[in-house]
C-alpha cells in the first residue's frame, strides 16, 4: 500500500534522507528506529508531504503521491501524529475530534472507546488536559480522519510510565484492527520491536537495517552498532 523508492529528501537545500526504500502492505506494521537526528521525523514528514523530495518516488494505494500536497495525502488516507502533538488548545476535546472527522468506521464513540480518558475530558479545552491526554487526543484526531495508514512519531516521548502503558494498550487495539497499517517511530527499542514484526533502522538519513524485529533483538552487537548506547539504555523500557 505504501512504497518509497530511492527517496532523497530534505528541507530547502539541505538533504537529510538519501536513497530510502521502504514498503508496507495493507494493514502492515513497521517500526522505525535510530539515534536522535538521523531523519526519522523527516521520513514521516516526507510521507505526508512536508519536505522537499529531490529524487525517488512515493506510491500510496497504487498511485504516485510524490508531488501531491499534504492535504491530498491526508484525504487519501494517510493519518499523521507528529512528534509535536497536534491539538487545538482553544477547542474542547470533543471539538478537536469532531473537526477532524471524515466518513468511515472511526467516529467519536470509537475513539472514546479506545481512549476512555478522553471521554471523561470531552468538555475540557486542549490546554486543560495532561500531556498524555494531549497525545491521546492527537492520535484520536488522526483516527477521526479514518486513515488506512497511521504514522506515529515518538508517541511515548516524555510521558509517565502509567500513560505509556495506556497508550500501548490502545496501540494493541489498533493493531488488532487489521485494516490499519501503522508506522511507529520509537526511541524505546524493545517497545518498538514488540510492537512490530518488521523494523527499519535509520542512520544519517539512510536505511541501515530492514528486516525482522526479532533478528535485531537477538543481535545485541548489531543493535548497539546501529542504535548505539542511547538506544541500549532505553532498551529496558
Ligand atoms: N525544518 C527543518 N529544516 C532544516 N533542517 C531540519 C528541519 N527539521 C529537521 N532538520 C534536520 O534534519 C535532521 C534530521 O532530523 P529529524 O528528522 O528530526 O531526526 P529524528 O527524528 O531522527 O531525531 C537533523 O539534522 C535536523 O536538524
Ligand atoms: Mg524525531
The model's pTM is 0.94
Residues facing 209 on adjacent strands: 201
Q: Which three cell numbers stand for residue 3?
A: 512504497
Q: What is the percent of the chain with per-residue pLDDT over 90, rounded to a whole number?
A: 87
* β-pair partners for 22: 4
- State mean pLDDT over 198-208: 96
Residue closest by Cα to atom 9 of ligand 1: 42
pLDDT of residue 235: 44
pLDDT band for 194, please (50, 70, 90 cuts): very high
User: What average pLDDT does range 197-220 have in this prediction?
Assistant: 95
Q: Is the pLDDT of residue 85 over 90?
A: no
C-alpha angle with apex 149: 223 to 161, nearest 5 degrees?
55
Considering only 16-25, 60-69, 115-124, 218-227, which range has the smallest mean pLDDT?
218-227
Query: Pick from 172, 175, 98, 169: which is nearest to 140 by CA?
Result: 98
**Ligand 1 pocket residue status of 141, Cβ below 6 Å:** no
> CA separation (Å) from 41 to 29, 65, 105, 108, 155?
17, 19, 28, 28, 12
The reply to whether ligand 1 has any atom less than 6 angstroms from the CB of 84 is no
Atom of ligand 1 nearest to the CA of 43: 17
Q: What is the pLDDT of residues 24-82, one digit of tens each?
A: 999 999 999 999 999 999 999 999 999 999 999 999 999 999 999 999 999 999 999 99
Q: Is 69 helix (H, G, I), strand (E, B) or coil?
A: coil
Q: For residues 147 and 180, is the Cβ–Cβ distance under 8 A?
A: yes
> What's the 10 CA to ligand 1 centre distance in angstroms?
8
- Going through 41-116 in order, the beta strands assigned E by DSSP cover 52-60, 63-64, 78-81
Q: Is the CB of 16 under 6 A from ligand 1?
A: yes
How confident is the prediction for the chain on average, in pLDDT? 93
Local confidence band at 229 (pLDDT 50, 70, 90 cut-offs): low
The sheet with strand 14-24 has its strands ordered as 14-24, 2-11, 52-60, 63-64
How far is the C-alpha of 196 from the C-alpha of 191, rounded, in Å? 9
| Number of residues assigned to the chain | 237
Judged by phi (left if over 0) then psi (alpha if -120 to 50, else beta), residue 135 lies in alpha
State how far the alpha carbon of 183 is from the alpha carbons of 22, 127, 142, 151, in Å: 11, 28, 13, 5
- Within a 10 A sphere around the Cβ of 178, how many other Cβ atoms? 9
Atom of ligand 1 nearest to the CA of 39: 17
Question: What confidence tier does 233 reach under pLDDT thresholds 50, 70, 90?
Answer: very low
Q: How confident is the model at residue 187 (pLDDT cuts 50, 70, 90)?
A: confident
Model confidence at 232: pLDDT above 80: no
Amino acid at each position: 500500500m505504501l512504497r518509497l523508492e530511492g527517496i532523497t529528501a530534505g528541507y530547502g537545500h539541505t538533504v537529510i534522507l538519501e536513497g530510502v526504500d521502504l514498503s508496507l502492505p495493507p494493514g502492515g506494521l513497521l517500526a522505525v528506529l535510530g539515534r536522535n537526528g538521523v531523519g526519522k521525523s523527516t521520513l514521516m514528514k516526507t510521507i505526508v508531504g512536508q519536505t522537499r523530495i529531490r529524487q525517488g518516488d512515493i506510491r500510496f494505494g497504487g498511485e504516485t503521491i510524490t508531488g501531491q500536497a499534504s492535504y491530498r495525502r491526508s484525504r487519501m488516507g494517510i493519518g499523521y501524529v507528529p512528534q509535536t502533538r497536534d491539538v487545538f488548545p482553544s477547542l474542547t476535546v470533543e471539538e478537536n475530534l469532531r473537526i477532524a472527522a471524515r466518513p468511515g468506521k472511526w467516529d467519536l464513540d470509537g475513539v472514546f472507546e479506545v481512549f476512555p480518558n478522553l471521554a471523561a475530558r470531552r468538555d475540557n479545552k486542549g490546554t486543560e488536559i495532561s500531556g498524555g491526554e494531549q497525545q491521546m487526543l492527537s492520535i484520536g484526531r488522526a483516527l477521526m480522519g479514518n486513515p488506512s495508514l497511521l504514522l506515529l512519531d515518538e508517541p511515548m516521548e516524555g510521558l509517565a510510565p502509567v500513560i505509556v502503558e495506556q497508550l500501548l494498550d490502545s496501540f494493541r487495539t489498533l493493531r488488532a484492527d487489521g485494516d490499519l497499517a501503522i508506522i511507529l517511530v520509537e526511541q524505546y527499542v524493545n517497545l518498538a520491536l514488540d510492537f512490530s514484526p518488521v523494523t527499519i533502522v535509520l542512520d544519517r538519513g539512510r536505511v541501515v537495517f530492514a528486516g525482522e524485529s526479532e533478528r535485531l533483538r537477538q543481535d545485541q552487537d548489531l543493535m548497539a552498532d546501529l542504535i548505539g548506547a542511547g538506544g541500549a539504555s532505553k532498551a529496558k523500557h
